[in-house]
Amino acid sequence: MYIGDLHIHSRYSRATSKDCTPEHLDLWARKKGIHIVGTGDFTHPAWREELAEKLEPAEDGLYVLKDEYRIKDEVIPGEMIPRFVITGEISSIYKKNGKVRKVHSLILLPGLEDAERISAKLEQIGNIHSDGRPILGLDCHDLLEIILELCPQAVYVPAHIWTPHFSLFGAFSGFDTVEECFEDLTPYIHAVETGLSSDPPMNWRVSALDRYQLISNSDAHSPAKLGREANLFDIPLSYEGLSRAIQTGEGLYGTIEFFPEEGKYHMDGHRKCNLCLTPSDTLKYNGICPVCGRKITIGVSHRVEELSDRAEGYVRENAKPFESLVPLPEVIGASSGHSAASVKVQREYQKMLIRLGPEFDILRTLPLEDIRRVSGTRVAEGIGRLRRGQVERIPGFDGEYGVIRLFSAEELDNTEGQMSFFELIGTQESGKGRTERAGQRSTADRKNTARRRDTADQQNTTEQRDTAEQRQTEIPAEQEEAREKQQDQRQSLSPRLNPEQENAVRCTLPHIAVKAGPGTGKTKTLVSRLRYLLEYRKVRPAEITAVTFTNQAAAEMRERIEKETGKKQAGRAMQIGTFHAICLNFLKEQGEEFTLMGEAQQRLLAEEVIAHTGINAKAGKFLEQVSRRKSGVEDALTGELSGDSVIDDPAWQQAFQTYEERKEELHLLDFDDLLLRTAQRIEDGQVHDGWEKKFRYLLVDEFQDINHAQLALVKLWSRVGRELFVIGDPDQSIYGFRGADSACFERLGKEYGDLEVISLKENYRSAPQILRAASAVIQAAGTGKAPAVIQAAGSGEASAAIQAAGSGEVEKREMLHPNCPDGVPVRIVRAGSPMGEAIFIAKEINRMTGGMGMLEAHQTAWEHPEQKVRSFDEIAVLCRTHHQAELVEKCLRTESIPYVIAGREDYLNEESVQNSLSFFRLIEQTEESGKPAEAFQEGSENTRQGEAMDVSGSISDISGMELCAKYFWKLEWSEMTAEVLWNTLAKYRPFYKKKKPQKFLEQWMEEMELTDDSAMQKLLQASVFYKTMPEFMYALELGVESDLKRCGSKKYTSDAVTVMTLHGSKGLEFPAVFIYGVEKGSIPLENEKHPSDKEEERRLFYVGMTRAKEELILTTSGEESEFTGAIPADVSVHENEEKKKKEQEWRQMSLFDL
C-alpha cells in the first residue's frame, strides 16, 4: 500500500515556504511516510530546471531525488525513498455564460518533457513566470483540450471542487454541473479533488459525482503540511498505475482526510463579524449578514446542500474507505499542554519518529501500547480517540480554520498539562474562562444559533495558527531564537530604525512634518509609522488614509503593510492611493454621477470651445492652461488666480467659462475636477455622515510635490482628523510646472503653529562620492532668493526656518551623512555628439554586464578583471526629455540590450492611440451602464428625429459612439454609423476583460490595420505589464510619469535596463545610473517660449544624481552644464570618449561599427 500526496506547491508559488524545494519535500515525505509526492508547479521555468537538475528517473513516469541532494537526518526511520510525479495547478479566470469563473485545475504528467511542451504552449497564452500556479484567462474546456492534445496520457483533475472562490463548484465563481464547465470534453474528466473542507460523505450526497473517483491531497504550501490529506494506493509503482487508479478507481484504495469541519470554508459566515452560520441560518437571513448587512460568505456545507439530491448520511455503493486525521504535533500538543510549534512538542515529535517510525504509521496503525511506552498515556489516548473519531468538531468559516478537540473542557481542567486544539493555536485564558467558552462554542450551539465570537479571541487564534504553521518547518533552536527575537521587538518597533526615524514613527503630536532627504529611509519610516498606528496604538485600518504620489507607490505600500504585518485585511481596509484615486472613490461613495473624461474626450471638448470662442490656441495648449488654472490657483476653493498672462485675456476667460459650463451640462469631470469637486463638497457640507472616519489619521507621501489644490484638500481632511503626518524632501520638489508649491512645508508651518518638524539625515543609499557630488550641487543653489527648501536640523526648528524663508535669507542646508562603503568617483564623460553619448552608454552597459557575446565577455574580463558584473535591471539611463530617451532607446535596441521605457511618452498623444483608447473607454462605459442596446436604440432614434450632431452637438454624448465615429472612422453620425459601431462593440466586448491586453491589442491592431503604426506598437509594448484591459486603461488615465512603462519588444523580461526621464525616476534607486545630456540647454532645460525655473532644474538634477547607489556616470557632448561645476574634483573624474576612440589601436566590435 502506498500513500500519495499529489497536489503541492513549490517555493515559486505565492505564499509558500522557501523550503518548498525537492530536498525538503523528499525529507518531509520520509518523515510523514508518503511514498508518492507531486512536484507541483510544473509550468514555472525555474522550477522545471531545478527538477531536471535534482531528480532522476525511477520507475516509468516517476522520479526520485538524486542521492547527492538527499538531506541526511537521523530522525528519519527506515530506507523508504519517496517517488516524485510531475504535477501542477493552473488557475483559470474567465467569463462563461454571463458569469466570471475562477477554477483551479490539478494536472498530472508522465514526464518533464511533457511539462516543457505544455508550458511552451501556455506561455503564448499568459504569464507563467510570475507564479508557480499561473493565472490564465483560459476557459477550462480549452485548457483541457490543450493538455490532451499535447499529452494524451495527462490526468486532468478539477482541484478542491467546493472551495467558494476558486473551484469547479465554488459558490461565488463556479458551475452547477461538470458539463457546464467542460461541455463536450466532460467524458475526459474521471476524478475530482474533494478539498480540505469536504470529505467523501459530503460528496456522496451529489449523485452527479457518482461516476468520478474522489481523491484528496494536501495543497501544501510548506513541506511540513504534506499529508494533511492524501490517497491510499494499491498499485504497481509507475505513472501508468497511478493514472489508472485515479481515472478508473482500480488500485485507489481510499483517502486520508482532514476533518472537514476544520477546513476554513466549511460553514457559512462572516469572519469580520465573528459570525458562523449553518445553511439554514443563512437562508433565514436571506444570505445577508445580520451584523453588517453585507453578503454572507457561503461555505462548502451550504454549497453541497444546494447541489445535493440525497439526504445527509447517504453512503455511495462501493464507496472507498477514508480516515480522518490531524497532524501528529497537534495531537502531542493537545496532550501535553503546549503549542504544536513549541520546542517541547517538536522534540517529542522527533523522538517518536526515531523510535516509532513515520508519522502516518504512528497515527494509523501502530499499537497504542507501543506509543504509550514511548510518549506516555495521554498521547496514546489522544491518538486512540483520533482513530475512533471521538473528537469534538467546531467548524471553520469564511477563511477561519475550524477546531478539532480531543479532550473535553472538564478533562482539560481535571488533567494537569493537557489542553484543547483551540488553546493549541494560541488562546490565552484562565481555566474557568476556557470551560465557559468551550460550552459556548459547542457544535450543537453552532448548528442552532448565530453567535458572535470574542474579537480578541478570533484575532489571537488566526494569528497564532499562522505563526504555528510557519514555525513547523523550523528546527527547535530556530523556533526558540525566533521567539526571543519577537520578544525583543516588542521593546522596539524595529531595531533597524535610527533615532530620527524612531522619533518620526512614534511621535504622537497632532501635526508632524518629516523632511527626508534621498536615501534616508522615507518609505521605511512611512510604513513603520503605519505599522506603529496599527500594532501599537491599535488604530483601526479603516481610519487611516495614506496619500501617495503614484499608483505604483500605493500598490507597493499596501503590499509592504500586508507583508510586514502579516494581515492582508489591514492593507485592504486602509485607504491608500493618489489624490486623484482617493477623490474619485470619494465622489463615487458620495453618490455623485459623472463621466471621467479621457484625453480624446477632452480634446474634442476643447476644439468645440476654441471654435466657439475664437481664441488662438490648439486643443493641447488650451487644456494645459485649463489645468494650470486649476492646479496653480492661490486658493483652490475661492478660485483666486495666480499670475498667468493668458488668464487676463477676456477671450480666454470666456473660453474657460464655456469649458466649465459644457462639462457641467454634460455631467463630465476632468482629472483636476476630481480634486476641486471633492474639496467643494466638503467645504459646502454636501457629504454623507461618517465620511470623515477614513481621514482620522492622514499620512501624505512626497509632500513637496503637492499643488495648491492638493494642499487645500490636506487641510480639509486634517481638519476633521486627529493626526496629520507629512513626509518629503523640499530639495526634491520638481513639479512646479504642474503647480507644485516648493514652499509647501513652510506654508504648512504657518497653517499649524504646533507643527513638529523632524529631519532624517542618515543616507543609506549612495556611496560617499555620489552623495558628496549631489550635495555640492544642491548646496550651490543661487542666493538671489530663498531656496525651495530649508532643512531644519531637528524637531522644534520649524518656526526659525519659516521666518528665514519669509525674509529671503538663505539657510545653509545640512549635509546628509553617508552610511555606505566607499565607492568610485562620479564619471563625467564627454562624447562627440548626442548620438555618440547614446552609443557610449550602450557600449558601457555592454561592458558593465560582462559583454553581450562571447568576444565581448572575454574582452571585458581581460581588461577589467576587478569589475563587478551587473545585471541589466541594476542599470538605469535618465534623460531630461522624452526625445533624448528615444535616441538612447535606438542604441540599446541596436546592441540587443533589453530595456524598459518608463513615463508618459509622446506616442500616447498620437491620433491612432487616442482614438483606440476612446473605443476601449466606450466598451467600459457600456459595460458599466449595462444598457448598451438601449443607448444604441436611443442614438438611432435621435438620428431619425433629425438630431444628428453638428460640431456643437457632437458633445451631447461625448463618451459614446459618436466620438468614435467622428475621430476613428471619420464618419458623420447616422443610423448606419451607429449600427457599424454597435456591431464592433458587440464583437470586442465579450473578451475585453477576458483577454490579456497584449492579445487584445494584437487582434485590434490587425483588424483595424494598425499593425504598422509606430505609436500603436509602443502602446502594445506597454500592455505587457498589465493583466487586464481595465487595469491597463486605469494606468493610462490616472497614472503619473513613473506609473507607465513599456518594454523594448513584445516580450517583457524583468531583467532589463530602465530608461526614463529625470522626473520619472523620482522615488527609485539603481546600483548604476547614467544621466544623459548633462549640458547647457538641456540641464537646466532652456526654452525661449517658456523659461525654466533654474532652481527647480537644479533640484531635478539632484534627484537624478541621488538615484545612484554605487556608480554615477554623467554624459555630455556640448558645453557642460553649469551644475557640474559644483562637483568637487576629489569625488569626480573627467573622461573624453571621443579622444579615447581616436587613440585606441583596437576596440570592441559592435553593430555600431558596421
Q: Which residues are annotated as a binding site for ATP?
A: 516-523
Please say whether the beta carbons of 1024 and 1052 come within 8 A.
Answer: yes
Q: If DSSP codes are grouped into helix, strand and coil, which group holds residue 767?
A: coil
Q: In angstroms, rounded to a whole number, what is the distance separating the alpha carbons of residues 903 and 1059? A: 9
Structure-block grid coordinates of residue 104: 483551479
Is the backbone of residue 287 left (phi > 0), alpha (psi -120 to 50) or beta?
A: left
Q: In angstroms, rounded to a whole number, what is the distance separating the alpha carbons of residues 303 and 173? A: 12
Q: In angstroms, rounded to a whole number, what is the distance separating the alpha carbons of residues 1033 and 598? A: 10
| CA 70 vs CA 23, 81, 447: distances in Å | 6, 10, 48
Is the backbone of residue 394 left (phi > 0), alpha (psi -120 to 50) or beta?
A: beta
| CA 62 vs CA 1, 240, 270, 296, 308: distances in Å | 17, 10, 44, 44, 37
Please say whether the beta carbons of 563 and 595 come within 8 A.
Answer: no
Please say whether the beta carbons of 170 and 198 come within 8 A.
Answer: no
Structure-block grid coordinates of residue 864: 577589467
Residues at the binding site are 516-523
Got the DSSP string for 609-667? HHHHH--S--HHHHHHHHHHHHHS-S-TTT-PPP--GGGGSHHHHHHHHHHHHHHHHTT
Q: In angstroms, rounded to a whole number, what is the distance separating the alpha carbons of residues 141 and 160? A: 17
User: Which strand (E) or helix (H) includes residue 245?
Assistant: helix 239-248
| CA 932 vs CA 483, 936, 990: distances in Å | 59, 6, 13
The angle subtended at Cα 451 by Cα 449 and Cα 453, nearest 5°, is 160
Q: In angstroms, rounded to a whole number, what is the distance separating the alpha carbons of residues 131 and 848? A: 30
Please say whether the beta carbons of 1104 and 1065 come within 8 A.
Answer: yes
Q: In angstroms, rounded to a whole number, what is the distance separating the alpha carbons of residues 850 and 682? A: 58
Q: If DSSP codes are grouped into helix, strand and coil, which group holds residue 689?
A: coil
Q: In angstroms, rounded to a whole number, what is the distance separating the alpha carbons of residues 81 and 103? A: 34
Please say whether the beta carbons of 324 and 258 come within 8 A.
Answer: yes
Please say whether the beta carbons of 191 and 246 come within 8 A.
Answer: yes
Q: In angstroms, rounded to a whole number, what is the distance separating the alpha carbons of residues 386 and 217? A: 20
Nearest to 146 by CA among 200, 90, 199, 96: 90
Nearest to 359 by CA among 51, 31, 585: 31
Q: In angstroms, rounded to a whole number, what is the distance separating the alpha carbons of residues 296 and 271? A: 10
Neighbours of 477 (CB within 10 A): 9
| Cα within 13 Å of Cα(333), Cβ side | 24
E-state strands within 407-466? 451-452
User: Which strand (E) or helix (H) includes residue 760?
Assistant: strand 756-760
Q: In angstroms, rounded to a whole number, what is the distance separating the alpha carbons of residues 937 and 931? A: 10
* Eight-state DSSP code of residue 1082: B
User: Which strand (E) or helix (H) includes residue 436?
Assistant: helix 431-440
